[in-house]
Structures are given as structure tokens and as C-alpha cells.
Structure 1
Amino acid sequence: MARKRKGRDISGWLVVDKPAGITSTAVVNKVRWALGANKAGHAGTLDPDATGVLAIALGEATKTVPYITDALKAYVFTVRLGQATNTDDAEGEVIAESDLRPTDTQIKEALTPFLGEIMQVPPKFSAVKIDGQRAYKLAREDADFEIAARPLWVEELVLVDRPDADHVVLEMTCGKGGYVRAIARDLGAALGCFGHVRELRRIWSGPFEAEDGISLEQVDALAKTPALDEYLMPLEAGLADLPELKCTPEGVVRLRNGNPGMVYPGDAEYGEEAWASFQGRPVAVGIYKSGELHPVRVFVTPSEG
């Protein structure tokens, strides 16, 4: 029999505006402690030096994490032109330099090939696994290895500022699995001047925005108090991109037992993924077919054990 996790049966989302200098895992652990939650996880890692949206799921909301991970995300980042580093960011060692500085027009033209479905090679200092080992571990050991390119959808990539000749500020909207550091590296290569990320901020992720996030200082200040609970967003916030269907009284019983259940007509099309609710509470996520939702994930509320 599985051991019951210690902590509160609390479910929902807490959006943290992550500061620089801390890992995503450390933020999750801090939030879990502050709320006394028995289960927590995040929907998309940010590098330690990156800031912005870190959406943390608690309890049953962890079942909705894939829907945020798969959603579009937006970043604002500064590229340092004229230098390449071994980590593709400012923390790394400079490994190549150039005096060439492209014009704004040249930069804008160079951004076009990065739009749409592209193939991207993740940085060697990344968590990608190579023969069972993390790439960053192999890189620290100066191992000789290659990382295969992988697809990335880039919805938008635009120049938003040029503070000086050495720096360019870009905004990118992309799908899951993208590395902003790789964009900076590859843009620098395309321009013939090298480049790396100087600053990086995730401004939104799916339905969650940085301006709505709570700071880590606030989490500390409100830890273990009911005031912190006021910042929680409901579980269904992670399902914002899916249509909602209302359960019939009979259907909710069947869905909670993991069986297909009847739902009232709604915006979902046949074969489409949707989520079902009953009396304002989320019940399950599944596939809509012929008046029934076929559950993929079923939510358990504390009162249901």
C-alpha cells in the first residue's frame, strides 16, 4: 500500500514571478513548504538566471500540467552580440568574439528563418539526455558529444529594442521544448557576429502572465498563513485552452469511477479533448464522443478521498 503524502490536500495553481539566481525546483519546494501542500510541480523549467512566469501546480492540478507545458509561451530576452559562450548565456566562458555589429535591418531580416517550424539543437549545457546522462554533466566533463536537432514551433520573433550596438532585445512566442539560448546562439551565427543570451524573462505561459504572479519574497512573507491561499488560482485555470462540458447527475458518477459519462451539449466537437464539470467543480478531462466524455484524467477532491 502506497504511503500517504504528508501535507494539505490543496489543489490549484500558484503563479510565481521567479527571480534570477534560483532554480525552478527550489521555487517549487519553497511554495510547497509555504502552503504546506502534499504535492507540487511546475509547468516548464526556467534557467536559474531567468525570471518570469513559473506556474506551480498543487495537488490535483498537477494532472493539468501537460496542458500548460504544451501551450504557447512568450519570452523577452537580450542578446549580447559579438560574443559566443560555451553555455550560450552570460554565465559561460567566452569562446569566440567578433567586432562585426549588424544593423537593425540586418537583424530583422535574419529573424525570418527562425519563424514557423524550425529545427533547433539544444545547448550542450542543458538537461537533454545523451545515452542516459544529462548533457550539462557531459559538458562539464569536456566530453565530446553531439545533440540531435529537434523541432520547435516559433509563432513570433521580433526586434523590440536596440539599446546599443552590442545588445538587441527580442520577443519570442513559441511552443514547448524551445531553448532561447539556442535562438541567441544561432542568430549570432546567422549574422556572422556570434551571440549569447544576456537576460531572459518569460512574460506569459499559456493562460498565466508574469504581471499576475506573486514574488518569492511575498511567498516567504505569507508562508503558512491563510493569506497565501488567496493567491491560488483554481485547478481549471490549467484547462483554459480546452472546452468545458457540464456533466449530467448520472454522468458525474460514472466519470468519477473512471467510466465514460454523459455530458450536456457544449462547444466540444466529436473526438475533441475537453473537460467536464459538475456544479462548478472540475470532474475529468477526456475525449468527447456521442454525448459522452471518455475520461483520460479524473480529478479527486478531498471530500471524495
Structure 2
Amino acid sequence: MPRSSAHGAFGAAGDSVTDDAQAFSKAWDAACQIGRSSVVFLVPDKYSFLTQSSLFKGPCKSYLLFQLDGRIVAPSGPNKWSSRNSKSDWMDFYGIHGMTMQGGGLIDGRGEKWWNLPCTSALRFLKSSNLKVQGIGVQSSPKFHVCFDDCQNVRLEFISINSLGDSPKTDGIHIEDSNNVEIHHSRISPGDSSHDVDITNVTCGPRSKHGIVDQELWPKITFNNIEMDKVKNPIITNQYYCLKDHYPNQTAALKIYDVSHAQHIQCEKPTCAS
């Protein structure tokens, strides 16, 4: 199976200091253009690759295996963010139709210094399909850890997402305008308009502020056999979810009924999220 590694032929240093974004871009372009049944994009073990904002764009000529064995780290803070980068997300995969991201490696957003800024999700998939993410770790995102926006046929399993307990708005997995999404056997400990979302055997917490957030509720949603430990807001159902200072608050949006709960449930008036 053909392999394309950012380290070596494409010049990545892997020393966590040198900006390896261009080496990653060259390795991706080479892998994407190989017309074989499947191609490996390798992030090798024992190396730590610092990258500025990167776009991994498809469609590609073959099915890609993104083998993450090493570490990918973001710049240490906004003052280290290159002036040539005007985009808000760190690692963007756009228009990918057929890819597996796997391995025992780590994506480290080093995001604590970013939390007061309205930008920079760590790992984002946009307008993509037939995706599988398994085994990897994502930590300390500047904003959302893993995002799926306008994606179809997605499966996540055995992934680990971690952030500090007081991190604001660092959703673990953010799903928006996507369908046929499955999340299994994963641990999410982070500080929308979707359907056909299957979440099974997922542990929320400890230290999670939000366990599962349904921002735009659709009918016939069932939560069964869920155990959460030390989660401030285990399940949130918002009648009207909006961004502060962007949209006016509304008090009547959706009707919620036939709610059954094994223990105490507290219902509040819908408010804008900060």
C-alpha cells in the first residue's frame, strides 16, 4: 500500500518547534493524487509535529488512511499564530469522501490561551462522507475538539477527548447538519441540526460541564441506560439555542413532552447560551 509521510521526503522536522504545515500540505497533496485503491498518510511515532492552520482538501483519487501514530501540536497561543492564517479552524478536512483516521497518536490543541477568543476548533470535517475516526486522542482544543459539519456516514469509536474542567465552550464532539453518525466506546471529557445520531457506550466526565447537548431538538429522541458521573449538566435540551449578542432571545420555540426520567429532572426557561 503506498505511503506518504510528512516526515522525511517532505521535510517535516517533527521537533514540536518548527512549523511543519507546508510539509504536511505537500505530503497530503501527494497522497491525494495517487490513484490506487488505498493510500496511507503517515504521522510517524516518536515525533511531535507543530503545524499552523492546515487545510486537507479533497476529493482524492483513492481511499485514504490517515495513520496518526505520533503527535500533532498547535502553536502555543494566539501570539504564535502566523499572520498568513486568516481562517479560524486549525485542522480542516474538506470534501473528503472516504477516509479513516486511526492510530494511538494525539492531536494537542494547547488551547488554554485561546479560550477568550471566538475562533479555532481543533479538528473539523466539512462537506465530507464515509469517514471513520478511531483510536486517536484529542486534547486541549482552543474551541470545539472534533467537528462534523455537513457530513454523511460517520463513525467514531475508541477515541479519547480531554480538556481542563474549566475550559469554556470546548465541546467534545460537535455535530451540525450531518446524518448517519455513530459514536461508540469513547471517553469524552471536554471542559446541531442533525439526525440519525447513534451514541453508544460513551462515558461523559468526570469534570464535564455538558454531557450531551441537543441544541436543536428533533422529535422522538430517546436516552436509555446512561450513567454520568460528576457532570454539571448531564443532558441539556434547548428550546432555543443562540449565541450571545447575535440573535434575540425567544421564549417559545419547540414543545417538549412525554419526558420520562428515572431520577430528578429540572426544567428551566430557555435562555441564550453564553
TM-score, normalised relative to structure 2: 0.22
Q: Which has the higher helix share?
A: 1
Normalized against structure 1, the TM-score is what?
A: 0.20
Q: Tell me which structure has the larger Cα radius of gyration.
A: 1
| More contact order relative to length (CA 8 Å, sep ≥ 6) | 1
